[in-house]
Every structure is written in C-alpha cells, then in structure tokens.
Amino acid sequence: MWGCWGWPFWCRCKRIEVLRGPFSALYGNHSGGVVQIFTEDGPAAPTQTGSLAAGSWGTTRAGLKFGGQAGGLNYIASASRFDTDGYRDHSEASKEQFNSKLRVNLGESGTLTFVLNYLNVNGVQGALKRDEDNTVDSWGAYAQGELQISEPLSLSAGLRFTRVSFESEDHFIRASNTGLCAEAGAGTNPDDSGKAGHSAWAPVIGALYRITPELNVYTNLWRSFETPTLIEMAYRTDGGAGLNFGLRPSKSVYYEVGVKALAGKDTRIDLALFMIGTKDEIVVFKNSGGRATFQNAGDSRRKGVELAVDSNLPGGFNAFFAATWPNAEFRDSYTTCALTPCATPNVLVSAGNKIPGVPRTTLYGEVSWKLPAAGFSTGLESRWGDKVFSNDSNTAVSESYFVMNLRAGFEQKLGKLVLREFARVDNLLGEQYVSAVFVNDANSRFYAPVPERGYFGGITAFYAF
C-alpha cells in the first residue's frame, strides 16, 4: 500500500493498493496484478487546504481544497491549475481541474456517492475527421474459495467469467464531397459503425505452505485473456476509417512460485519466479504520425525472477531494493510494417526475437531517513535500467542507464494549522538517457529523451476549523 504524494500531482486519492498475483483476477479479466485507487474522503473536521509548487522549465501548480463531515454527509472539493513551458521545444502545456465528491450515509441501507469532475487541457484543433460514439460494456461473475488442508497447507481456487463488448456509432457519414468532409479533404465517407464482443473463462488455483510463521512458500497457476483497448482499436491496419474490430484478445497462462520471508522483525523479503505463455499477442503494427495501429502476432513467452527487500534500519533509516529479470520473446514468427506508407506487412519478425520495450534487468534502490521530532524526512532514489529493443525486428536499441533522485520534506504543526514543504531534484547526476520508446516508429524516431536535471519545490497548508 502506498500513500499519494509527490510532484507534480497534488493528491486526491485516499490510498493506492497494489494487488499482485492471480486472485486479483477477481477485479478484471486480465490481471497479473491490480492497482486499486481509493478516492479521498472529506476529513472529520472542516478543513481548508492550499498548495503552491514550482520548478524547472517554468513549471507551476496552484490548488485549493475544502472538505469535511456534517452528520451523515461527507464532502470534498478541489480545484487546481498546472502550467509548464516543457523541457523541450513544443512541449508547453496547461491543465485546469475541478474534482468534487459527495457521500451520503443511508444507514444500514448503505451509502450514496456523487462525483463531479472537470478537466480542461490547451491543444490545436484541426478539421473534423471523425465523429463517433464509442461504448465499452464489461460484466463478470466470479467465485473463490479456500480450503485448509492442514495447519501449514492451504489451497485456493477461483473461477471468473467475463464478457466485454465494444460498439461504435459513426456520425461522420458523407455521401458526397460536401460539408465538413470536404473541409477535411476526406471526400466521401461511409458508415463505419460496428461492434465486437469477447468472452472467456479464467480459472485459477494456488497453494500456500507455511514452513514457519516467518517463512511461507506458494505456487499459483491461472489463465486470463486481455481484450484490446479502445486506443489499440482506434485505427485499422489497412488505413480505413472506423475501429479495428478485427483485433482479437490475447490469452495467457501464468505459472508462479515464490517465497515470502521475514528476516527478523524489521526486514521483509519477497522472491518470485514466473512464466507467462501468451497466444495472439497484441503488438504494434505501425507507428506513424502520432498514430499507432495494432495487430495480433503469434505466441510469446515471458519468464523471469522478481525480488524485493524492505528493511527498517536503526536511527530512523529505511532501505528498499527491488529487482526484475524478465526474458520476454516471441515464440512464433510473423510480419509487420517498418516504413510508411505500408499497405501490407513487409518485414519478417523471427521467432526468438525479444519483445520491444521490455528491459532484461531493472534495479531500484532507495534509502530514506526520518526525524519525527523535527518533522523532517529525506530519501535518495536510484534506478538502473538495462538496454531496451525499440522494434520487433530488434535492429534498434536504447542503451542502459543509471539515474538518481533526491527528495526532502518538512512538516510543522501550529495548532490547527499544518504546513508541509517539499523539495526534490530529479535526475541528480544529469544523466542523458532514453525514458521511453515508440515501438516500430515508421520514421525510426524511436526514442523519447529524458529531461535534464530538474528542481522542484512547494508548500501545502492545512487548516482545520
């Protein structure tokens, strides 16, 4: 479980819980894990909060929040504005937000919650080329049970059925080269409405053996299917209009064995070995002009090791280390597009090629320190990422990198007023590296450079009436 904090976002969530493993499938049709966000409630006493933050590249953020509890009515509302010049050309941005939540306690009958959100982000609007209503419906039914075989051994099993339906209603229909379609230079445009539906069963079974109260071993086996998202369906591979309803779900089988251990009372160790076999892997077909199209490839396989160590040290120190060593590769060969225009696939991707965008090794380490008496905390974060292939044919690669961040925070309690200040330096060493890759970019523009060293700081004030 994590709290919500950090730059540049001002938290509106109560908490974030990360559910890892197969039984998170109860929350969705394709889940090796679930990030569950709980929205923030109003505090017990009426509280006014204001925040100001600023940093490199002309970045600023200001926000106001008010919330409280009145009998069976809980309320909270916040407004904010974010502006930045951006760390590179043409990356200026601004964002205005308003969020509110009203929860009414209905006693033993339950609660009734109302949510109102507003978002305004500044872009360039061109000629109308699409006008459609897209709807996604999802429903599922599941059952889960646990059987205690003996004092140390327990078995768990679950079964979920999920149905996901996509429907698009096209309103941009033109029989001749007139009107808006002519302005967009698109000529005639037929009705591209359509629908598609996908459903599957997802079984799971697991076993847990408690060797000692401090040492547990477990194993899990489960199956899932991943339906394409609307973003992946947005454009057809043949260049035609309308959604790509021919894109099929990918289906996976997961195997996992792991150990959870306590080394003393202050150190926790998690170790897991995993393998995932996938059919109909969803991959990038073509990435050009800011538009990505997707297709189904053949089989793929991911296997590897995950390790996490979390330890409370003397003197207010804490150390955390996490590492992942995945090996992700295509098991079948298939064809894809490399250049634009590309009416048909023209590049062979060989079986055994690595899946792009997945580093072979990722390491994260953090040392933090708290001095509660002074309301002070600080932390040094470090991350190392292995090289990453940027296309399916594995001819383009971004090199490995090492980056460090430094943060510090203060808190003062002055009666009903609480002040919190933060400061952080991102990319402390000024490392030049690739932060993300655009897989299969048609113009070989695969790489998104990371910002240079950046400085940020801010203050938040809470006053409870």
- DSSP state letter for 432: -
Contact 205, 155 (CB under 8 A): yes
Which own/partner pairs from 86-93 qualify as long-range (CB within 8 Å, at least 24 positions apart)? 86/57, 87/56, 87/57, 87/451, 87/452, 87/454, 88/449, 88/451, 93/121, 93/122
CA distance 422 to 81: 19
Residue 107 Rama label (left phi>0; alpha psi -120 to 50; beta): left
> What is the chain's alpha carbon radius of gyration, rounded to the nearest angstrom?
25
Q: What is the pLDDT of residue 14?
A: 73
Q: Which of 461, 407, 401 is nearest to 7 (CA)?
A: 407
Tokens found for residue 373: 């008496």
Q: Is the peptide bond before 345 cis (omega within 30 degrees of 0)?
A: no
- Residue keyed to tokens 């209009």: 241
pLDDT score for 421: 97
Give the whole-angstrom CA distance, residue 157 versus residue 142. Answer: 11
For Cα atoms 233, 239, 243, give the angle at the middle one, nearest 5 degrees. Answer: 25
Per-residue pLDDT, 94: 94
Tens digit of each residue's pLDDT, the chain (465 residues): 334 434 434 446 677 877 776 666 666 666 567 777 788 899 999 999 999 999 999 999 999 999 999 999 999 999 999 999 998 888 899 999 999 999 999 988 899 999 999 999 977 778 888 899 999 999 989 888 999 999 999 999 988 899 999 999 999 988 755 444 444 444 678 889 999 999 999 899 999 999 999 999 999 998 888 899 999 999 988 878 889 999 999 999 999 999 999 998 899 999 999 999 999 999 998 888 778 899 999 899 999 999 999 999 999 999 999 999 999 999 999 998 766 566 678 888 999 999 999 999 999 999 999 999 999 999 999 999 999 999 999 999 999 999 999 999 999 999 999 999 999 999 999 999 998 888 988 888 889 888 889 999 999 999 999
Instruction: Say what the pLDDT of residue 103 is.
Output: 94
- Helix (H) / strand (E) containing 456: strand 454-464
pLDDT of residue 305: 97
Q: Exposed e or buried b for every residue in 141-163, given b needs 16+ CB within 10 A?
A: eeeeeeeeeeeeebebbbebebe
Omega of the bond prior to 451 within 30 degrees of 0, cis? no
pLDDT of residue 1: 38
Q: Which helix (H) or strand (E) holds 180?
A: helix 179-183
Angstrom distance (rounded) from CA 41 to CA 103: 8
Report in angstroms the alpha-carbon separations of 94 from 83, 85, 97, 101: 4, 9, 10, 24
Amino acid type, 11: C
Side-chain-side CA neighbours of residue 227 (13 Å): 21
**Integer Cα distance of 76 and 92 in angstroms:** 30
Whole-Å CA distances, 136 to 30, 348, 461: 16, 34, 41
Q: What is the per-residue pLDDT for 108?
A: 86
